[in-house]
């Protein structure tokens, strides 16, 4: 007769070694248990199905969002970078570099938590480039409006995520919470920079703002699920 007890003890030993092989670079994830491997009860983080699917969704949509952010700034730079305004170019370059760092953080989380990346990730990259280029073609102020709208929506989005994540009191999730908080803070800095550069003076400001903010909302909804 199959001895379940023996198997559980065997599982604990090897599951711990399994985790250390793949989470060795992340001290906070040494005890994380992947949902598809043997679940270990003692001394390890065990997430319920709902909690794990929530974290999956968050990381998936964050990666797609950061991809889109990088390509929005690339699109804007492609159109506005050659206008001869060095200050604007350096501002766009600075914001793009920060977004690249965010994307690297989210990629690392995808590998750590074994999250399925969204299949819309290339779509996000291309769509972001088109959005950035189009808004830049309408003028510098419209480009700033686009940035302001996207960053407002992203700020709301990250705050919602943090609110839900803080309900989970596991210390192993601290790194994830800190990185999302850092991304949120820098996105809000971009928001302020965009407002300072005249985003609210753009023509048809309200229309552009609400349109882009709504589009971001739809994209977030899709990337969470697909």
Partner 1 sequence: MTIRLLGRAVATRTVANQSIRPKIRHLQSSVPDSSGFSGRDNTKNNTNLEILDLALTKVHDLGWSSTAVSRAATELGYSSMAHGVAPDGAISLISHFMDRALDETCIEVDDQLHEFPDTSECLRFICTTRLKQTLPYVQRWPEAAAILAQPQNVPLAMRHLTNLSSQMWYLAGDKSTRIDWYARRSALAAVYLSTELFMCEDRSPNHQDTWRFLKQRFQDMDKAEYIGSKTVAFGEQFSRNLYNILASRGYVSH
Binding window for partner 1 (CB under 8 A); candidates: 94-102, 107-115, 134-142, 148-156? 107-115
> What length is written for the chain?
226
DSSP letter at 27? G
Told to check if 4 binds partner 1 by CB under 8 A, we report yes
CB of 114 to partner 1, least distance (A): 6
* Contact between residue 59 and residue 115 where contact means Cβ atoms under 8 Å apart: yes
Residues 175-204 close enough to bind partner 1 by CB under 8 A: none
Residues 41-100 close enough to bind partner 1 by CB under 8 A: 41, 46, 49, 63, 82
Told to check if 224 binds partner 1 by CB under 8 A, we report no
Binding window for partner 1 (CB under 8 A); candidates: 9-17, 150-158, 196-204, 213-221? 9-17
Residue in 2, 42, 86, 218 binding partner 1, rule: CB under 8 A? 2
Residues 18-47 close enough to bind partner 1 by CB under 8 A: 18, 21-22, 33-39, 41, 46
Told to check if 134 binds partner 1 by CB under 8 A, we report no
Nearest CA among 12, 16, 13, 14 for reference residue 30: 16
* Contact between residue 59 and residue 113 where contact means Cβ atoms under 8 Å apart: yes
Residue 179 makes CB contacts below 8 A (sequence gap 6+) with 105, 109
Residue 8: Cβ within 10 Å count: 14
* Contact between residue 98 and residue 186 where contact means Cβ atoms under 8 Å apart: yes
């Amino acid at each position: 007769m199959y001895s379940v007890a023996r198997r559980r003890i065997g599982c604990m030993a090897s599951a711990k070694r399994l985790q250390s092989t793949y989470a060795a670079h992340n001290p906070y994830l040494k005890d994380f248990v992947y949902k598809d491997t043997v679940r270990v009860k003692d001394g390890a983080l065990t997430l319920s199905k709902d909690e794990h699917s929530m974290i999956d969704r968050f990381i998936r949509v964050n990666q797609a969002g950061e991809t889109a952010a990088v390509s929005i700034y690339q699109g804007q730079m492609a159109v506005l970078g050659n206008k001869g305004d060095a200050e604007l170019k350096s501002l766009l370059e600075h914001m793009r570099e920060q977004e690249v760092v965010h994307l690297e953080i989210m990629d690392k989380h995808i590998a750590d938590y074994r999250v399925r990346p969204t299949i819309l990730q290339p779509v996000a990259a291309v769509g972001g480039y088109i959005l950035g280029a189009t808004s830049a073609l309408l003028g510098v102020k419209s480009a700033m409006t686009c940035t302001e709208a996207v960053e407002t929506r992203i700020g709301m989005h990250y705050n919602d995520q943090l609110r839900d994540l803080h309900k989970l009191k596991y210390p192993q999730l601290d790194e994830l919470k800190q990185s999302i908080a850092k991304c949120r803070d820098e996105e809000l800095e971009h928001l302020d920079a965009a407002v300072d550069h005249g985003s609210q003076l753009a023509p048809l400001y309200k229309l552009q703002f609400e349109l882009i903010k709504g589009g971001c909302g739809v994209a977030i909804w899709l990337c969470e699920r697909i």
